[in-house]
């Protein structure tokens, strides 16, 4: 038999882990031939259809995800029209809910797998063309002779016994990062999350993770995303893993998620001693309001979470991202603005503002009416309004998220944006209105364009911050001929006996420029290396 896997992603920077995870369990089985059609949501549906059709497969398989689901259906509907005998099987987190209506609405899909696919898919492949034998495949949902069959949720009980996805030749090594799933399931019960459905927590032994990391290092990969939703639930295991990661410094960098409420002192001590740059943390916080977290069924006391988050953000050796979710029950837009202010005050390395999506199978989708949430019935199932936030306000939150990404979450503009948020009440709202009115916010903007817009806005509304924007502009290596550098003197600049060196070492081969902050000789000097032609200064001094 021949299986064609449709690997549909939002961009080529991403690749589904599902394909190598399933293939790794089956790769030694004889009589099963695999082919992969890789495509993105930006590409024409017809191209992918032609590529699948050329294989004349017996089976077409894929995972559906929020932002790929619609296009995937367009592809498989066309494939099925061309190849009616081909069996279409889909999986992924979107099938955790009731699947009968879906299967009746989409007859081009023969069956869907609910839950963890590795073992069930391997069993299904043995009987793919005999639907009468599908009835003992855990997690499989299908319609046979007009009757809907639902085999519950597939769960891999012996997670450590699975073949690792990297064992499969279909594992894609050419992406910017590699994902390693070290734990499956989650202890928490967040009502909006597909992992919050009470799946048992299963872990890989530390030694198995060590072997996999060695394999990844041998491939010269730099960034590893650890998929472990319970990373610091057991402090002892968290410490063991942190020391394991340390073994791979400086060759690997690890991105992982931590619950900020679960940071006992011994975990804090280990984190504080980690090598600089080894860890990139995502601290799940979602909202800084206890009532919002309670209604979202998220465990963990807010005060403890805030204390943990403050601690993580204060560590100079690691970067901590914090995320908020607009559209959670009882969460207002005014509170979101306040929470961003608080997170900026903690010096969070990034502030992600997501929009809530209600995935099938989650408790929040089931209880949406009771919680006062209205959401799109079509993927990506975005929340449209709640009793606490209107649809217009949710659009504002979406634009606010873009503003944060363009400014606060961009290294060049972070410090100046943080200062504006913390010292100028209403800055975020006013700047967002400005960017929206001039239709900038939904356009892609270069780093330079963003700097120019911030500079012009501050010149008009917050003149005391103009110098800070110019300093950020210069330090980011931007042109001294553009408007944000209009106050900079580049000719005949001499060293000053009064300056204090901020960084670098002055040598007289440096090309100096001077940014005056008043008419009395105060200001900033920047030194450029003429030899390397590096656009950013390598020396800075100030006289304030
Ligand atoms: S949001 Fe995070 S902590 Fe909550 S259930 Fe999902 S994975 Fe677990």
Q: Verify whether ligand 1 is closer than 6 Å to residue 184 (CB atom).
A: no
| Rounded distance from Cα 201 to ligand 1 centre (Å) | 12
Q: Tokens 């944006």, residue?
A: 417
Angle made by CA atoms 255, 261, 265, in degrees to the nearest 5 = 85
Q: Verify whether ligand 1 is closer than 6 Å to residue 48 (CB atom).
A: no
Q: Tens digits of per-residue pLDDT, 156-196?
A: 989 999 999 999 999 999 888 999 999 999 989 999 998 87
> What pLDDT sits at residue 529?
93
> What pLDDT sits at residue 452?
98
Question: Which contiguous run of DSSP H or E holds residue 140?
Answer: strand 140-144
Cα radius of gyration rounded to whole Å, the chain: 27
Name the band, by pLDDT with cuts 50, 70 and 90, for residue 532: confident
CB 191 within 8 A of CB 150: no
Q: Verify whether ligand 1 is closer than 6 Å to residue 93 (CB atom).
A: no
Share of the chain above pLDDT 70, in %: 100
DSSP letters for 226-292: EE-TTTTTSHHHHHHHHHHHHHTTTT-EEEEEE-TT---HHHHHHHHTSPTTSEEEEEEEE-S-HHH
- Please choose, from the candidates 543, 535, 465, the residue with its C-alpha nearest in 3D space to the C-alpha of residue 497: 543
Dist. CA 460–CA 25, nearest whole Å? 62
Q: Please determine, for residue 139, whether its predicted confidence score (pLDDT) is greater than 80.
A: yes
Helices 466-475 and 447-461: crossing angle in degrees, nearest 10, is 160
CB 202 within 8 A of CB 229: no
For 500-507, what is the mean pLDDT?
Answer: 96
Dist. CA 200–CA 540, nearest whole Å? 54
Dist. CA 355–CA 394, nearest whole Å? 8
Cβ neighbours, 10 Å, residue 265? 8
For 149-153, what is the mean pLDDT?
Answer: 97
User: Strands 202-203 and 223-227, how do they pair?
Assistant: unpaired
> What pLDDT sits at residue 119?
96
Q: Please determine, for residue 465, whether its predicted confidence score (pLDDT) is greater than 90.
A: yes
Beta bridge mates, 476: none
Residue located nearest, by CA, to atom 2 of ligand 1? 229
Residue 367 Cα distances to 9, 197, 239, 331, 397, angstroms: 30, 14, 38, 16, 23
| Rounded distance from Cα 168 to ligand 1 centre (Å) | 28
Q: Please determine, for residue 340, whether its predicted confidence score (pLDDT) is greater than 80.
A: yes
Name the band, by pLDDT with cuts 50, 70 and 90, for residue 320: very high
| Rounded distance from Cα 349 to ligand 1 centre (Å) | 21
pTM over 0.85: yes
Please give the biggest Cα pair distance in the chain.
90
Angle made by CA atoms 86, 90, 96, in degrees to the nearest 5 = 155
Ligand 1: which of 185, 195, 285 to mutate, most ligand atoms within 8 Å of CB? 195
Rounded to the nearest integer, the mean pLDDT of the chain is 95
Residue 120 Cα distances to 30, 88, 91, 151, 202, angstroms: 18, 15, 11, 11, 18
**Coil, strand or helix at 87:** strand
Dist. CA 21–CA 154, nearest whole Å? 15
Contacts of 84 (CB under 8 A, 6+ apart): none
Closest atom of ligand 1 to CA, residue 196: 5
Q: Tens digits of per-residue pLDDT, 232-289?
A: 999 999 999 999 999 999 999 999 999 999 999 999 999 999 999 999 999 989 999 9
For 368-389, what is the mean pLDDT?
Answer: 96
For 37-52, what is the mean pLDDT?
Answer: 96
> What pLDDT sits at residue 238?
97
**Coil, strand or helix at 43:** coil
CB 18 within 8 A of CB 117: yes
For 322-337, what is the mean pLDDT?
Answer: 97
> What pLDDT sits at residue 81?
98
Name the band, by pLDDT with cuts 50, 70 and 90, for residue 200: confident
Name the band, by pLDDT with cuts 50, 70 and 90, for residue 206: very high
- Please choose, from the candidates 500, 501, 446, the residue with its C-alpha nearest in 3D space to the C-alpha of residue 478: 446
Q: Verify whether ligand 1 is closer than 6 Å to residue 421 (CB atom).
A: no
Q: Verify whether ligand 1 is closer than 6 Å to residue 190 (CB atom).
A: yes
| Rounded distance from Cα 18 to ligand 1 centre (Å) | 20
Dist. CA 354–CA 92, nearest whole Å? 21
348 CB-contact burial (10 Å; exposed 0-12 / middle 13-18 / buried 19+): buried
Residue 425 Cα distances to 50, 430, 462, 512, angstroms: 56, 9, 11, 36
> What pLDDT sits at residue 12?
78
Q: Tens digits of per-residue pLDDT, 443-462?
A: 999 999 999 999 999 999 99
For 34-39, what is the mean pLDDT?
Answer: 96
- Please choose, from the candidates 377, 380, 378, 320, the residue with its C-alpha nearest in 3D space to the C-alpha of residue 355: 380
> What pLDDT sits at residue 537?
97
Dist. CA 117–CA 21, nearest whole Å? 9
Q: Tokens 């999986």, residue?
A: 91
Residue located nearest, by CA, to atom 4 of ligand 1? 190
509 CB-contact burial (10 Å; exposed 0-12 / middle 13-18 / buried 19+): exposed
Q: Please determine, for residue 46, whether its predicted confidence score (pLDDT) is greater than 90.
A: yes
Beta bridge mates, 87: 59
């Amino acid at each position: 038999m021949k299986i064609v896997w449709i690997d549909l992603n939002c961009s080529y920077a991403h690749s589904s882990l599902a394909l190598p995870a399933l293939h790794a369990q089956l790769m030694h089985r004889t009589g099963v031939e695999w082919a992969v059609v890789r495509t993105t949501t930006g590409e024409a549906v017809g191209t992918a259809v032609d590529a699948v059709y050329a294989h004349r497969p017996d089976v077409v398989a894929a995972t559906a995800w929020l932002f790929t689901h619609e296009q995937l259906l367009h592809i498989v509907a066309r494939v099925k029209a061309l190849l009616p005998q081909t069996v279409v099987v889909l999986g992924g987190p979107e099938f955790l809910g009731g699947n009968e209506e879906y299967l009746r609405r989409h007859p081009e899909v023969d069956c869907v797998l609910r839950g963890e696919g590795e073992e069930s898919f391997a069993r299904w492949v043995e009987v793919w063309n005999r639907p009468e034998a599908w009835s003992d495949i855990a997690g499989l949902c299908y319609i046979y002779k007009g009757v809907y069959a639902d085999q519950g949720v597939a769960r891999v009980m012996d997670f450590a016994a699975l073949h690792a996805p990297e064992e499969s030749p279909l594992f894609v090594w050419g992406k910017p990062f590699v994902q390693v799933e070290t734990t499956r399931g989650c202890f928490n019960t967040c009502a909006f999350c597909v992992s919050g459905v009470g799946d048992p927590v299963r872990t890989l032994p530390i030694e198995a993770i060590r072997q996999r990391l060695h394999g990844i290092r041998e491939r010269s990969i730099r960034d590893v995303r650890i998929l472990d939703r319970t990373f610091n639930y057991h402090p002892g295991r968290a410490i063991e893993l942190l020391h394991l990661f340390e073994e791979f410094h400086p060759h690997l960098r690890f991105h992982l998620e931590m619950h900020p409420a679960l940071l006992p002192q011994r975990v804090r001590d280990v984190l504080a001693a980690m090598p600089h740059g080894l860890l990139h943390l995502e601290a799940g916080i979602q909202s800084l309001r206890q009532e919002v977290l309670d209604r979202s069924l998220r465990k963990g006391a807010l005060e403890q979470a805030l204390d943990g988050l403050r601690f993580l953000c204060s560590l100079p050796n690691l970067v901590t991202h914090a995320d908020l979710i607009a559209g959670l029950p009882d969460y207002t837009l005014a509170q979101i603005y306040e929470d961003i202010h608080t997170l900026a005050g903690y010096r969070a390395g990034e502030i992600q503002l997501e929009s809530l999506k209600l995935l099938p199978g989650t408790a929040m989708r089931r209880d949406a009416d009771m919680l006062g949430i209205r959401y799109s019935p079509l993927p990506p199932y975005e929340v449209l309004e709640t009793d606490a936030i209107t649809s217009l306000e949710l659009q504002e939150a979406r634009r606010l998220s873009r503003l944060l990404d363009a400014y606060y979450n961009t290294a060049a503009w972070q410090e100046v944006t943080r200062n504006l948020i913390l010292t100028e009440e209403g800055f975020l709202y006013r700047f967002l209105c400005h960017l929206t009115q001039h239709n900038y916010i939904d356009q892609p903007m270069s780093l330079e364009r963003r700097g120019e817009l911030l500079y012009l806005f501050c010149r008009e509304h917050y003149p005391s911050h103009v110098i800070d924007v110019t300093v950020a502009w210069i330090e980011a290596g931007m042109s001294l001929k553009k408007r944000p550098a209009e106050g900079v003197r580049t000719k005949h600049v001499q060293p000053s006996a009064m300056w204090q060196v901020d960084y670098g070492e002055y040598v007289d081969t440096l090309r100096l420029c001077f940014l005056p902050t008043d008419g009395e000789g105060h200001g900033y000097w920047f030194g450029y290396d003429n030899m390397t032609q590096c656009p950013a200064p390598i020396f800075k001094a100030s006289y304030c």
